[in-house]
Structure 1
Amino acid sequence: MVSERADVVRNRAAVLRSAETLFGHEDPSRVTLARIAQSANVGKATVLRHFGDVSGVVEAVLAPRVSALRDAALTGGPPLGPGAPAREGMHAYADALFDFVLDNRTLIRALEGRRPHAYYANPASQFWISELGRRIHAADPAADADYLAHAVFTAMRADVIDYLRLEQGMTTDRIRAGLHTLLP
């Protein structure tokens, strides 16, 4: 196994730190590869080589958080992990996804606006939707689990949650309760 050079590892970490800082403090639509590179003190080509585009950078920043939630859902303890009654597991999973979006909404908003269907097409979202559909089906085999999984996932878009909180004055508790009413 070939290990990465120290400067490659250092540059990658600097890019990820810089991107996280920029997305945490600025309008996600204004964060560019050039700004990430400048903030990380690396060339734009370095960022392109490692991540491809801004969406690749965002996905890399989110990757450890995505893995932690995926692991908890697949192998963690109940009710989020295996072993809980189906309906309880479905609701625990919806809560975990909602919390994930709340905690990562600036990064998720950066993905939502970068390319068509980015919110739904990235591998993490495809897993979230599939797992939500599986849990909905387990809780109610007669439900249209695929449709409901997409509808509930859409209701958890970061831009939707931000709009409801900031423009409509809804509390996160109210939004969370509303999401649960969408589940069978």
Structure 2
Amino acid sequence: MADTGEPLELLRSRPAQERADAARNREKVLAAAAALFAEKGIEDVSMDAVAAAAGVGKGTLFRRFGDKSGLAVALLDERERDLQERVLSGPAPLGPGAPAPERLTAFVEAYLDYLFDHLGLVRMSETASPGARYRIGAYRFWHRHAAILLAAARPGCDAEVLSHVLLAAVGAEVAGVLQEECGRERARRGILELAGALVRPER
């Protein structure tokens, strides 16, 4: 079964129109936050420290981002949009043109790269409040994409539920525990084995 032609749209969290000064401040804040998080660790960086490093007022920072989880979401935005663009129009098997099982495996592999490379930020964005992960726009994209591929690979399955099950395996909290207890590569193998089992047709 080839490409499913899914009706997915790129999900952007950045406003379409932004004043030049606001855009400059945004980039200064994100650059400062990224540098501080990399140097000291996310948990040891305060919003006050980010504001001071970026040269903006604390009020500006809190109004724009709310808290550190808001900063995490903003820092992840570009990485998420890059992955979304590769899913929508990149080369197969991650992009269109490959059979659904191959595309799902490629998606899980690419998502795991993104997840483990930015685990601290993803964890903060997903756990800021109960259910935060499911309110992030990108989650709806990942869920829709996986559900379409699962439905194509296993006609008649409850793809909506199975998509949530698969994405539960790549949540940041789960990934963090798996990395600590099993190591990253073993965790990757296990999650990919689950993805393979989900797209395997029933006998």
1:73 is matched by which residue type in structure 2? Answer: V
**TM score, norm. by length of structure 2:** 0.79
* Residue range with higher mean Cα deviation, 61-70 or 36-45: 36-45
Partner of 1:173: 185
Given that residues 23 and 106 in structure 1 are in contact (C-alpha distance below 8 angstroms), is that contact kept between their aligned partners in structure 2?
A: no
Structure 1 partner of 2:111:
97
Summarize the Cα distance change of 1:28–1:113 in structure 2 as closer, same or farther, 3 Å threshold.
farther
1: CA distance between counterparts of 2:174 and 2:101?
A: 25
Q: 2:132 aligns with which of 102, 107, 118?
A: 118
Q: Flag the structure with more relative contact order, 1 or 2, with Cα contacts below 8 A and sequence separation at least 6.
A: 2
Partner SS state of residue 19, structure 2:
coil
Q: Tell me, which stretches of 5 or more residues in structure 2 are unaligned?
A: 1-16, 199-203
**TM-score relative to the length of structure 1:** 0.87
Q: How many residues align?
A: 180
The more displaced of 100-109 and 153-162 is 153-162
Contact between 1:137 and 1:143, CA under 8 Å: does it hold in 2?
Answer: yes
Shift of the alpha carbon at 1:174? 1.8
**SS of residue in 2 equivalent to 1:115:** coil
Q: Given the alignment, which residue of 70, 81, 84 partners 2:84?
A: 70
Question: Do 2:47 and 2:68's aligned partners in 1 also have CA atoms closer than 8 Å?
Answer: yes
2-side partners of 1:25 and 1:150: how far apart? 34
Moved more, 13-22 or 79-88: 13-22
**Residue of 29, 42, 51 corresponding to 1:28:** 42
Cα root mean square deviation, aligned: 2.0
Pair 1:38 & 2:52 matched: yes
- Mean Cα displacement is larger for which, 113-122 or 30-39? 30-39
Q: 1:142 Cα shift?
A: 2.8
Judge conservation of contact 1:90–1:139 (CA < 8 Å) in 2: no
4+ runs deviating over 6 angstroms:
none
Question: Percent identity between the aligned chains?
Answer: 36
Distance in 2 (alpha carbons) for counterparts of 1:82 and 1:141: 19
1:134 to 142, 148, 155: 148
The Cα shift of 1:49 comes to 3.1
- From 105, 121, 130, the equivalent of 1:107 is 121
Bigger drift between 28-37 and 115-124 goes to 28-37
Other structure's SS at 2:110 match: helix
